[in-house]
Amino acid sequence: MHIVMVASEFAPLAKVGGLADVVGGLSNELARQGHQVDVIIPRYKSLSLDPVLAWQQRIDRLTVPFFDRTVDARVFETQLRGCPATLRIFALEPIEESHLFDRDQLYGYPDDGTRFAWLSRAAMELIALWDQPPDIIHCHDWQTGLVPVLLYEAFQAQLARTRAVITLHNLHHQGVMGDDILHQVHLDPRRLKTPDRLLHPHGELNNLLKGGIVYANAITTVSRTYAHEIRTTEHGCGLQHTLNIHRDKLRGILNGIDTTVWNPSHDPVLSHPYSADAIEGKYENKRVLRERLGLADRFAPIVAVISRLDAQKGCHLMHHALRSSLGHNAQFALLGVAPDPRIGDEFRRLQDDIADHPDAHIELAFDDELAHLMYAGAEILVVPSRFEPCGLTQMIALAYGTVPVVRRTGGLGETVFDANHSGKPFDEVNGFTFDDDNEAGLDSALLRAIGLWHKHPEYFRKLQLNGIRTDRSWARPAREYIEIYTSLTSDS
C-alpha cells in the first residue's frame, strides 16, 4: 500500500511534542511492514540534520496557488539513517515567502494559519504530480485539516481513488480562521462555510479541524477513551455534535512508542544500558542523573516530570508534586517548556525558590538527551493531566522501568494500571492512578508510590518489571491503521 503522511511534526526531525513521535513511529513501522510511506513536512529552519542522509533537491519549482498569485515550493527528499528505504521524507520550502518556515519555533506565530494552509496546498500539488496516486493520504491535527477538504474539493480529477484519513491528536487546537485562509488555497468560503462543513460551532469563522473531520473518509484518535470523551464530554471542545454526526468514521487507536528510539537496552544517550533482566543498570543512570542535575546522593527515589508546561498538563499539581516529594523523603526533577509566558514565569519563580536545593531541580528547556536520562534515572514519573488524548511520557516511563503516577483520563487510564485498585492480575499492574483533579487526589497516588519504594522495594521492583516487559511497540497499532486503510481502499 502507498501511504502519504502530511504533518507539521515528524520525529526525529521536527518535534514539539507527541505528534512528532506518533507520525515518526507510525511511519517507520508501516515502512517496516513493507508499505511505501512518504512523509511531507515543511522545511523548517530548525530541521535536525543528524538523523538523515543527504537531502536531494527533487523539484526546483512546484507551483502552489496563493490568493491571486503563487508561492512556489522547492521540494527536497531524504531518508532516515537506519530506516527502511520505503520511508521517504519530503520537505517543502516556499520560494517567494521564504520567511514562512525560516523561524526559530515550529508554532506560535500570528500567521500559523497561512503557513500550514500553504503546506496543505503544496502537499496536494506535489502528490497530484506523481504518476501513481497514493492509496491513502493521512493528515494530522488542524494544521493539515484542509488536506481532506482539498482532496474532495480541488483534486478529484487527479486523485479520484485516493482516500483521506485524519488523526486527532488534541481537540484543544482547532485552527479557527477567517475566510482569507480559504481564499489563499483557492477554496470557496461561500460553499464551505456552512454548519455541516467548516463553519465553527460558535461565531462566523472557519474551523480547519472540523473541515478535516467532515471530509476525511476515516477519523482516528489516539485512544479509545479519548474517542468516547470527545463525543460525549467537554473534551470535544465544541465539536461533539460534528463528531457524533461522523461517529461511524471515528475510531480510537492507542499509540505505540518507537522502540528503536525508546529502549533502555540500546539507548545511545545512556552510558549504562539496562533491561528487565539486568535492571541494576538503571541505578547507574540514577547516579549520572544526580550528577547532571546537582542532586544529593542519598537513599530516596527520584520523582520526575517531563512535560509541556501547559494548563492541559496539570501544572498546579506539578508544583504540589514537588512539595509532596520533598515532604516525604523523595527527590524531584522537572524538565519542561512553557509556551505561555505566564506559566513560564510561575515555573521560573519555583525554580528560584529551590535554587541549589540538594533534593530538587527544575530545568526549563526542551532537551531530548536529558529527557532520555531522566526516564532512565528516575524511579517515578508524575503525569497529572487535566485531559490526555493518549500520553506518551507514561508509556516511555514504563519502558524504562520508571513507575508512572497518572491522573486516570484519556489514554493514561488505558496504559497505567493501579497497583492496588485496578483489579488487574499481579503481572499486569504497573503504576498508580488517581481521579480527582486536586492535591489530595495526586497525593492519594504519589504517596503510595513513594511509600512502596521505601517500605516494599521488592513489590516496587515488580511494578518496574511489569512495565518494561509489556510490548507497546507500534507493531499492533500499525496493523490497526492498515485495517482502516484497507477498508477504505477496498470499497473504492
Number of CB atoms found within 10 A of residue 72's CB: 21
| 77, 179, 284, 367: residue in contact with ligand ADP (rule CB under 6 A) | 367
Q: Which is nearer to ligand ADP, 18 or 477 (CB)?
A: 18
Nearer to ligand ADP, 181 or 370 (CB): 370
Cβ proximity to ligand ADP: between 21 and 267 the closer is: 21
What is the number of residues in the chain?
Answer: 492
Q: How crowded is residue 445: how many other Cβ atoms within 10 Å of its Cβ?
A: 26
User: Which are the contacts of 112, defined by CB distance < 8 A and separation ≥ 6?
Assistant: 143
Which residue of 335, 338, 429, 442 would you call a contact of ligand ADP, by CB under 6 A? Answer: 335
If we measure between CA atoms, which residue out of 387, 369, 383, 399 comes closest to residue 304? 383
> Least distance in Å: CB of 330 to ligand ADP?
21
Which lies closer to ligand ADP via its Cβ, residue 119 or residue 333?
Answer: 333
Is 336 a binding residue for ligand ADP by CB under 6 A? The answer is yes
Q: Which of 164, 176, 337, 416 touches ligand ADP by CB under 6 A?
A: 337
Distance of CA 19 to the CA centre of its chain: 3
- Per CB under 6 A, the segment of 17-25, 98-106, 325-333, 483-491 that binds ligand ADP is 17-25
Residues 298-317 that bind ligand ADP (CB under 6 A): 306-308
Q: Is the dihedral of CA 167, 173, 179, 180 positive or negative?
A: negative
CB 70 within 8 A of CB 94: no
Cβ-in-10-Å burial (0-12, 13-18, 19+) of 266 comes to: exposed
d(CA 446, CA 79): 43
Q: How far is the CB of 198 from ligand ADP (least distance, A)?
A: 25
**Out of 6, 8, 17, 92, the residue judged to bind ligand ADP by CB under 6 A:** 17
Cβ-based nearer residue to ligand ADP, 10 or 215: 10
Q: Which of 106, 243, 371, 399 is in the footprint of ligand ADP by CB under 6 A?
A: 371
If one asks whether residue 376 binds ligand ADP (CB under 6 A), the answer comes out as no
Q: Which listed residue (128, 366, 438, 489) binds ligand ADP by CB under 6 A?
A: 366
Positive or negative: CA dihedral 432, 15, 249, 163: negative
Q: Is the peptide bond before 268 cis (omega within 30 degrees of 0)?
A: no
What's the CA gap between 25 and 439, in Å, rounded? 35
In the 3-class helix/strand/coil scheme, how is 143-185 assigned residue by residue? HHCHHHHHHHHHCCCCCCCCEEEEEECCCCCCCEECCHHHHHC
Taking the complex as a whole, the smallest distance from the CB of residue 133 to ligand ADP amounts, in Å, to: 31
For the record, the C-alpha cell of 383 comes out as: 503525569
The single-letter DSSP state of residue 311 is: G
Least Cβ distance, residue 373 to ligand ADP (angstroms): 11
| Nearest CB to ligand ADP, comparing residues 179 and 368 | 368
Q: Which of residues 384-423 bind ligand ADP (CB under 6 A)?
A: 391-393, 396
Residue from 8, 9, 14, 18 that binds ligand ADP (CB under 6 A)?
18
Nearer to ligand ADP, 396 or 452 (CB): 396
Site string for ligand ADP, 72-91 (x = CB under 6 A): --------------------
Binding positions for ligand ADP, rule: CB under 6 A: 17-19, 21, 306-308, 335-337, 366-368, 371, 391-393, 396
